[in-house]
Chain A
Amino acid sequence: MKKRWIAALCALTLALTLGLAGCKTDEAPFTPKPVDGVPLAFDDGISYYAYAPAAVVDGERMYLYYTSNRTAEQNDPSIALRVGKRTADGWSFGDRSIVLEASASGWDAGGVTDADVVKGAFSYQGTQYSWLMVYQGRADRAENNHQIGAALANAPDGPWVKLGEPVLTYDDAETGYAWGVGQPTLLSYDRAGKVYLSYTRGETLFTGQFLAELDFSDASAVTGADAAFMLPETGLQDGGSGTVLFNNVGLAARGANWYAVRDFNPVASAAPSVATAVQVAHIDPADIYTADGSWTVDEERLNFLDLAAEDNNGWERVYSASIVKDAYGQAYGNGITVAASVTSYDPTTREYLYYQGIILHELPV
């Protein structure tokens, strides 16, 4: 009997603990995000932002990684995950979970964002892993000196083990206090340890999209970072009369081509100053090694005109997108499905941070 009482007390205590904990997490009542276009893929409510998606389909599941604040209404960027199931109406996503957080100190203590994931075979400190995540981190809250780090797992939903140091670094002593390197996107080279990693590099002198050919077979000694080079820009189109700004890219492979979805620049002049459209283009990967390599644009602008619903005018900000792909980076489905960040904003304050959400949109490429 005594044991039963003790067991019941423990259960009650646990329940109270969990309950209180649950109350604390959900202390802000759920309020859906305002929708100015096609429906969001999921809704975290207006206490949590969701942007910079990376969607990987493995088997019957879509693993949709995105940047979100870990704590309600606190700008503490982390990597969140929702796992989706295919339904007759599209994808139905489960609950949000945080799969990667900022470190307590060090190069990524200021936040982790913009993750992408690929499947392969990776070894780290004596353990074999089958999934690689790359992400953007920074040491503090300043929007500069970003670097790119990596984490490993044996399942797409984690748990993820961070590599201690960034795999692609930015040295502001050499190239100036500037945005740094970030917004990584992955393709598998050999379905094992080698990957293509494309990323944006923003220095004081220029911003451009680079490609690194990295070998994570032994993730404790990643090689190839010093040979990163710039992707071609010829053929891409931007608004205005300036030169093309190639950044914030999501890559996927399809047949003999690589497809890219990128921010269409320039960004909006009025806050929120993010892109108003994304562009989809493709290139023969052999051309990225040549001086005259050129992209072919498939969708000049995916914007509010494409992303309007019956009761609205469409999303006015469309940015930071990726292409839904399989575990090794091949574009998923028959077309090109874009996972894009969209947002509404307060027309008075122009505040938009927590209104950011994610949509899925298939292009018949």
Chain B
Amino acid sequence: MKRFKCLFAAVLLLFCLACAGWVGAVAEDGASGAAGTAPDVSLSPSAGVFSYAAEAGVLVRLISTSYDIRDDEGDPVQRVRFDLAGSGSELTMRVFNPSSNPQRFRVAFLTAEGRWESGYVQAASGANELGFSASAVDGFSGTLAAVEVLYSAFEYSGNSLIFGQMTYSGGDVAWAAENAGWQCIENPIVEAEAFFADEGTLLSRGVQAGVWYPVTFATQQDMSAYEGFSYYIDTSLGDRQVFFNKYVQERARPGETGFGEEWYLPDDGVAYYHPDGGIPFRGAANTVPAYFRGRVYCSFSAFRMPEWMTYPGNGVLDLDDTSGLIGLTFDGGLGDVRFILKDFRLETTVEEIEYEGLRQGDLRYLDDMSTYASTETVAFGWRTNWSLASPCAVTLIENEWTTSGAAGNALRIVPQTAPENPAPDPATGQTAPTNYTALEFFPVEGSADIAGSQGITFFLRNEESEPLLFGFEFDILQNGVRQRWGVKPRGRYILYDTLRGTQKLYNAPERSLYIPAGFTGWVRVDFGQFENPSWETVGGAFTTETGLAYFVINIDTLQYTGHSFVFDSLAVYTSDAGISTPFHTANTTLDQAIGGNGT
């Protein structure tokens, strides 16, 4: 509820802004689609104007969404600053002038020694690609630390200029700050795509906990011919998932008071993720996984009016309302997030994606690894987020030890030594690295449905000639808060070696599972064999009714650095299948349970 209150305030602000000027800007640039033919329409001013393609010879390519700089009636010069890292003097910038008339602005170059302003730069109507050279400015000296864009609100009251996609020849660029008089309707994070080429140092913007950062798109058109919208997002610049609320704001209709109804995509709703070069998958409506690059599709049919919404209205999402305002608001409380957001557009079709292989036998998969198309895309689901944790090399491989219930992709995991100079833990400030991996998995839909299940299972292969102590923990939700569970000392678990044909029960030596050398098969642990770690403060008895929100693999890297094991088919199971031995046959055998009937 707290989130919604913050969001509500943001929405009010944005609505005012949208009515004040942004609406007009979009209307002027002619990017709106014709309702009659209902083409896919780009609503972001940057979309359709700026491309995302990499350019040869560019050291660092800055991708930003756009800034709308508007008149605040009190400050004739609006200003936005971009911090620069590296050494160079050449900049390029794409500027979109939505007005039919030329507009001008200035650029200021900042060094440690001083500030030099360029003369006026003319931006023609429409798209402009402009270059700037600090060294060409009389008297310029020193190392360029920042660049500011200055725009006369007095001169162009009611207009706007949109700046984006800045490239700096000398290094990286990061959006830094704007003066207090400005209002940014779009308030993006700016980062460098060159991160992927290991060029330069990634600059980041620290976001403030508890603050909601809005990004709003004014449609100003009849959306009734559209099934939903999509946007392109790149979260691979950082190591954190990004939480977005999504809403549609209606204008108040005759007889309605206030601002009109707001419709939200619920947190437990679904969005459809189309990763670049990857296999589309269904995921959480409002939580974009870290390391995701691609397009996210949301359907209007999934929007709901929150229970707390008190605006009088007709209770119907009126997509024909030409005052439509679609907002994405991300949560600064998640810490230092980095992402690129662009190319927002309406979609005439939003294709639903079902998660194939969700259930098989008594297995309900949390991740069968089938959605990963390459090693790079594994990071959509599995990654080491904690800076102090020992890293591990994760590669996508084919599960060549196929058995019933396990096929296709698998992860080969090789723990590495602890990091030498890790970034501080954001919560504690600690910098001492740990000798444990923390390979984490977040269910794509936020929390996975495990209702009625008996325990947790996965496919594992110990590729070494000595045993492995394999640690893992998971979180369930207790009143929306994550609560940690780990295997209790001497907790009992099943090892079904499908290669050797043996089914065994073991007792966990401590809080880790003992995996014999060469073991290849299924591990099953009843939920009754788990307990809360001593540090857990979230109370409440174990339940499967609230969902599993997190899973983490912990391996001692002092002991197992360089050791290799294969992990696959994380699932929960729903039967009480037991082991069968030479003298004993379970009522429900593991073969029956895992092979299943495919239902």
Binding site for B on A (CB under 8 A): 173-176, 189, 194, 196, 203, 205-206, 208, 213-215, 223-224, 226-230, 232-234, 243-244, 288-293
17 other A-B residue contacts (CB within 8 Å) besides A229-B581, A230-B506:
A173-B465, A174-B465, A174-B467, A174-B517, A175-B467, A175-B517, A205-B467, A205-B509, A227-B504, A229-B504, A229-B505, A230-B505, A234-B492, A289-B579, A290-B578, A291-B493, A291-B494
Asked if A228 meets B504 with Cβ closer than 8 Å, knowing A213-B582, A292-B492, A293-B492, the reply is yes
Determine if A289 and B584 form an interchain contact, defined as CB atoms under 8 angstroms apart.
yes
Q: B466, B516, B586: which contacts A176 (Cβ < 8 A)?
A: B466
Query: 1/0 per position for B452-496, CB-CB distance to A under 8 A?
Result: 000100000000011101000000000000000000011011100
Query: 1/0 per position for B556-599, CB-CB distance to A under 8 A?
Result: 00000000000000000000001101111010000000000000
Query: 1/0 per position for B535-565, CB-CB distance to A under 8 A?
Result: 0000000000000000000000000000000
Q: A173, A205, A223, A244: which contacts B582 (Cβ < 8 A)?
A: A223
- B183: Cβ under 8 A from any A Cβ: no
> Closest CB-CB distance, B528 to chain A, in whole Å?
6
Determine if A289 and B507 form an interchain contact, defined as CB atoms under 8 angstroms apart.
no
Binding site for A on B (CB under 8 A): 455, 465-467, 469, 489-490, 492-494, 500, 502-507, 509-510, 514, 516-517, 525-526, 528-529, 578-579, 581-584, 586
Asked if A292 meets B526 with Cβ closer than 8 Å, knowing A223-B582, A224-B582, A233-B490, the reply is yes
Q: B465, B489, B526: which contacts A291 (Cβ < 8 A)?
A: B526
Complex alpha-carbon distance, A266 and B347, angstroms: 69
Asked if A289 meets B467 with Cβ closer than 8 Å, knowing A229-B506, A233-B490, A243-B490, the reply is no
Determine if A227 and B467 form an interchain contact, defined as CB atoms under 8 angstroms apart.
no
Q: Which 5 A-B pairs have the closest CB atoms?
A: A206-B509, A229-B504, A213-B582, A291-B526, A213-B583
B576 (CB) vs chain A CBs: closest residue: A290
Complex alpha-carbon distance, A214 and B582, angstroms: 8
Asked if A196 meets B583 with Cβ closer than 8 Å, knowing A230-B507, A291-B493, A291-B526, the reply is yes
Complex contacts, A233 vs chain B, CB 8 Å: 490, 507
A173 (CB) vs chain B CBs: closest residue: B465
Complex contacts, B494 vs chain A, CB 8 Å: 291
Complex contacts, A290 vs chain B, CB 8 Å: 578
Query: Could you write out 16 A-B pairs with CB less than 8 Å apart?
Result: A174-B467, A176-B466, A194-B582, A205-B469, A208-B506, A226-B500, A227-B504, A228-B504, A229-B503, A229-B504, A229-B506, A233-B490, A233-B507, A243-B489, A291-B526, A292-B528
Complex alpha-carbon distance, A59 and B213, angstroms: 87
Complex contacts, B586 vs chain A, CB 8 Å: 289
Complex contacts, A291 vs chain B, CB 8 Å: 455, 492-494, 505, 525-526, 528-529, 578
B527 (CB) vs chain A CBs: closest residue: A291
Determine if A194 and B489 form an interchain contact, defined as CB atoms under 8 angstroms apart.
no
A232 (CB) vs chain B CBs: closest residue: B492
B454 (CB) vs chain A CBs: closest residue: A291
Determine if A208 and B528 form an interchain contact, defined as CB atoms under 8 angstroms apart.
no
> Closest CB-CB distance, B63 to chain A, in whole Å?
50
Complex contacts, A206 vs chain B, CB 8 Å: 509, 514
Complex contacts, A293 vs chain B, CB 8 Å: 492
Determine if A226 and B490 form an interchain contact, defined as CB atoms under 8 angstroms apart.
no
Complex alpha-carbon distance, A213 and B583, angstroms: 7
Determine if A229 and B490 form an interchain contact, defined as CB atoms under 8 angstroms apart.
no
> Closest CB-CB distance, B250 to chain A, in whole Å?
54
Determine if B509 and A189 form an interchain contact, defined as CB atoms under 8 angstroms apart.
no
Determine if A194 and B504 form an interchain contact, defined as CB atoms under 8 angstroms apart.
no
> Closest CB-CB distance, B593 to chain A, in whole Å?
13
Complex contacts, B583 vs chain A, CB 8 Å: 189, 194, 196, 213
A285 (CB) vs chain B CBs: closest residue: B584
Complex contacts, B528 vs chain A, CB 8 Å: 291-292
Determine if A208 and B582 form an interchain contact, defined as CB atoms under 8 angstroms apart.
no
Complex alpha-carbon distance, A228 and B514, angstroms: 14
Complex alpha-carbon distance, A351 and B581, angstroms: 45
Complex contacts, A196 vs chain B, CB 8 Å: 583
